[in-house]
Amino acid sequence: MKCNPLLLQLRCSACACVLEAPGEFLYNCVRCGPAGTLEMLYDYPKLAAAWARLTQGDLKGMARYASWLPIRSAASLPPLLVGDTPLSRVDRLAAATGLDHLWIKEDQRNPTGSFKDRASAAVIAAARDRNIQLITAASTGNAASSLAGLGASVGLRTVIFVPASAPEAKIIQLLIYGAEVLLVDGTYDDAFELSLEATRQFGWFNRNTGYNPVTLEGKKTVSLEIFEQLPQVDAVFVSVGDGCIISGIGKGFQDLYRAGLLAKVPRLYGVQAVGSSVLSKAHERGYLEAEPKACTYADSICVGEPRVAHQALQLVKGSSGGFITVSDDQIRTAQLQLARTSGIFAEPAGAAAVAGLVPALQAGLIAPHEKVVGVVTGHGLKDIRGALSAVQQKACHISSQPSRLADELRKAGVV
């Protein structure tokens, strides 16, 4: 684990035991198993000292934060630019939702079109530090396509387990990048279990969300960027399935706080679909209960058995934030509203973060004057069917004859 000498300890999110970071790679707590996701703790005064250097250097993207990650150096990261995504002020969307100050962190702009590139880049760096040649992952689609694309950039073999129902574009990404693809006749949760079994049987390095603690560290880089782009944020909205992205975001702000760079951690709001809301219910009830039949058109957040549950719940609570559930129709409305007011095309799970804004305002969780960031986690072109289901109007067919143009435009209602 100790590729970075500033990494000191690992803390289990389930039983809270702390151990010195061992030499060998550890996926999760030896007592709790996969439920005990591990939080990495660093030498924070030294991280603070490294911050000044990293913000002044000429490295780009995640490479700038190498000293804050469990990797040997920036050179271990894949060469594609991951991170450095824009934090775009979206005044027209703000007006439509009733907020004064709203920004979108555009993580759909990463090389393979999703936030997951941050985790894949960090896991690939950790693999390269250990001379590992093959990585496996289970995924709803984005984590896998991101692992496949970034893996291709450094010549790694990738073996992917995805539900056969994953959107076509995500499966095509896998194939075009040259991954070895196993379409599972089952759910994401089934694919996850199969990939763990393959890891046990064949000793493959596993990138699964949350299961591999490096994923969380990669994901935290989004908060380091948000902090640099907008030092004072009141609330951050992000969609939630397994809970790894929101945990990574929380961890990033926590690390900034522990290093003495950030005075107050922003409130974190996790947005879930009504049909896939295990963490939201757990936040409300105080206990966790898996729901095997999760169902939402936002495929990336369709998760019945969240893998980073404890950490996500702790970090959201610790930030004084909360969870919001939205219907699929609310997500469709947000997908359209985001695209039509800001020009940002998000896949359904990316738009879910935006869908949470109005209900949060109505419930008094956020106030109109607060500074709010929504994280768009995936590009709309990844799920064309999903996007089509949000669009009501049809495109008009017209003839190719210029003499009929005026008539055709009148018929179509354009003039």
Ligand X SMILES: Cc1ncc(COP(=O)(O)O)c(C=O)c1O
Residue 152 or 249 having the CB closest to ligand X:
249
- Among Zn ion, ligand X, none, partner that 14 touches (CB below 5 to 8 angstroms by kind): Zn ion
Residue 3 or 143 having the CB closest to ligand X:
143
Residue 160 or 216 having the CB closest to Zn ion:
216
Residue 31 or 411 having the CB closest to Zn ion:
31
- 67: tokens are 């000293």
Q: Do 261 and 48 meet the contact criterion of CB atoms below 8 Å apart?
A: yes
Residue 143 or 334 having the CB closest to ligand X:
143
* Site for Zn ion, residues 86 to 105, rule: CB under 5 A: none
Residue 107 or 255 having the CB closest to ligand X:
107
Residue at 239: amino acid letter: S
Please state the closest distance from residue 203 (CB atom) to ligand X, in A.
25
Task: Collect all residues with Cβ–Cβ distance below 8 Å to 236 and sequence separation of at least 6.
Answer: 223, 226, 249, 266, 267, 268, 269, 321, 372, 373, 374, 375
Tell me the backbone φ, ψ of residue 164, rounded to 5 degrees.
Answer: -60, -20
Task: Collect all residues with Cβ–Cβ distance below 8 Å to 41 and sequence separation of at least 6.
Answer: 7, 8, 9, 10, 11, 18
Please state the closest distance from residue 11 (CB atom) to Zn ion, in A.
9
Q: Is 365 helix (H, G, I), strand (E, B) or coil?
A: coil
The CA–CA distances, whole Å, from 21 to 18, 28, 36 equal: 9, 12, 15
- 194: tokens are 């199969």
Helix axes 117-129, 244-258, angle to 10 degrees: 70
Please state the closest distance from residue 383 (CB atom) to ligand X, in A.
9
Q: CA neighbours within 13 Å on the CB side: how many for 309? A: 21
Residue at 362: amino acid letter: Q
DSSP-H helix ranges across 260-299: 278-285
- Among Zn ion, ligand X, none, partner that 12 touches (CB below 5 to 8 angstroms by kind): Zn ion
Residue 72 or 116 having the CB closest to ligand X:
116
Q: Could you give the CA distance from residue 31 to residue 390 in angstroms, rounded to a whole number?
A: 46
Please state the closest distance from residue 37 (CB atom) to Zn ion, in A.
9
Binding mask 266-305 for Zn ion (x = CB under 5 A): ----------------------------------------
- Among ligand X, Zn ion, none, partner that 156 touches (CB below 5 to 8 angstroms by kind): none
Residue 108 or 215 having the CB closest to Zn ion:
215
Residue at 373: amino acid letter: V
- Among Zn ion, ligand X, none, partner that 32 touches (CB below 5 to 8 angstroms by kind): Zn ion
DSSP-H helix ranges across 277-378: 278-285, 309-318, 328-342, 348-355, 357-362
Residue at 143: amino acid letter: A
Q: What is the DSSP letter of 61?
A: G
- Among ligand X, Zn ion, none, partner that 114 touches (CB below 5 to 8 angstroms by kind): ligand X
- Among Zn ion, ligand X, none, partner that 31 touches (CB below 5 to 8 angstroms by kind): Zn ion
Task: Name the nearest CA neighbour of 13 among 314, 322, 281.
Answer: 314
Task: Name the nearest CA neighbour of 246 among 170, 327, 149, 323.
Answer: 323
Please state the closest distance from residue 374 (CB atom) to ligand X, in A.
12
Residue 218 or 350 having the CB closest to ligand X:
350
Residue closest to ligand X (Cβ): 378
- Among Zn ion, ligand X, none, partner that 349 touches (CB below 5 to 8 angstroms by kind): ligand X
Residue of 1, 3, 21, 36 interacting with Zn ion (CB under 5 A) = 36
* Residues at the contact surface with ligand X, assessed by CB under 6 A: 114, 116, 140, 142-143, 209, 239-246, 300-301, 303, 347, 349-350, 377-378
Residue of 5, 18, 22, 31 interacting with Zn ion (CB under 5 A) = 31
Asked whether position 12 contacts Zn ion by CB under 5 A, the answer is: yes
Residue of 5, 15, 75, 172 interacting with Zn ion (CB under 5 A) = 15
- Among ligand X, Zn ion, none, partner that 350 touches (CB below 5 to 8 angstroms by kind): ligand X
Query: What is the binding site for Zn ion (CB under 5 A)?
Result: 12, 14-15, 29, 31-32, 36
